[in-house]
Amino acid sequence: MKAFTLTTPAFRRRSLALAAFVVSGCVLAASPAKADLRLCNMTSSRVGIALGYRDAQGWVTEGWWNLTARGCETLLKGQLAGRFYYVYAIDYDRGGEWSGRSFMCTREREFTIRGTEDCLARGFDRSGFFEVDTGEQKSWTIQLTETNRPGGQP
């Protein structure tokens, strides 16, 4: 199992230090591994997840998956078709976000949006997603973690 640290996220709200780690391959378990894109929230907060990816028709963003503290969710079922996926996540309880430099369209309520251009003109929000390079693996798990809490030890 390999772990990769992603770039430090930007923050819109309180400056809660957050980091995202990506884990490749399967998790050791009694049952056989499935080929899926999964995301695990390893924090003590509830988080909202938006996902961006390219399919046969072009770019699409989807959201929101609401994960409880220490919860996991399958975002895409089956073997991964692409190498790069994009994630934007919000910490509902403590504020802050996991974000990056790849801008895509989102909205406040549940959504599936085709295309990444002209988000604001089309009535959507524009959010910065961080890139996940799966290395063309057929299965991948992303883990969101906290590196630091205000007033606490990292």
Amino acid occupying residue 67: L
The tens digit of pLDDT for each residue in 95-144 reads: 999 999 999 999 999 999 999 999 999 999 999 999 999 998 889 999 99
Are 19 and 143 in contact by the 8 Å Cβ rule? The answer is no
Are 1 and 23 in contact by the 8 Å Cβ rule? The answer is yes
- When divided into structural domains, the chain yields a total of 1
The tens digit of pLDDT for each residue in 13-46 reads: 333 333 444 444 433 333 445 689 999 999 999 9
CATH code: domain of residue 30: 2.60.40
The tens digit of pLDDT for each residue in 82-97 reads: 899 999 999 999 999 9
69 part of a folded domain:
yes
134 part of a folded domain:
yes
Range of the domain at 72: 3-146
133 part of a folded domain:
yes
**Smallest Cα–Cα separation from 51: which of 122, 138, 134, 112?**
112
Are 57 and 114 in contact by the 8 Å Cβ rule? The answer is yes
153 part of a folded domain:
no
70 part of a folded domain:
yes
Are 45 and 93 in contact by the 8 Å Cβ rule? The answer is yes
